[in-house]
Amino acid sequence: MTRKLTIGTRGSKLALWQSRHIAQRLRETGVVEVELEVITTTGDRLVDRHPGQMSTKGIFVKEIEDALLHERVDLAVHSVKDLPGELPAGLTLAAHPERVDPRDVLLTRDGSALEDLPQGVVLGTVSLRRRAQLLACRPDLRFTDMRGNVDTRIRKLEAGQVDGIVLALAGLQRLGLVDDRCWPIPVETCLPAPGQGILGIECRTGDDEVITALKRLDDADARREVTAERTVLAELDAGCLVPLAALARIQVGCMVVQGLVARPDGTEILREERQGSPDAPARLGHEVADALKSRGALELLRAARESARGQLPADG
List 44, 74, 82, 315, catalytic entry: 82
Q: What is the SS3 assignment for 45? A: helix
Return the beta strands (E) in 44-173 as ranges: 75-79, 91-95, 104-108, 122-124, 142-144, 164-168
Phi-psi category of residue 237: left, alpha or beta, with phi > 0 → left and psi -120 to 50 → alpha: left
- Round to whole Å and give the CA distance between 78 and 255: 24
Distance in angstroms (rounded) separating the CA atoms of residues 203 and 123: 37
Catalytic residue status for 290: no
Q: How far is CA 149 from the centre of its chain?
A: 14
Which residues are CB-contacts of 245 (< 8 A; sequence separation ≥ 6)? 129, 133, 190, 191, 192, 193, 194, 258, 259, 260, 261
SS3 203: strand
Cα distance between residue 59 and residue 146, in whole Å: 17
Q: Which residues are the active-site residues? A: 82
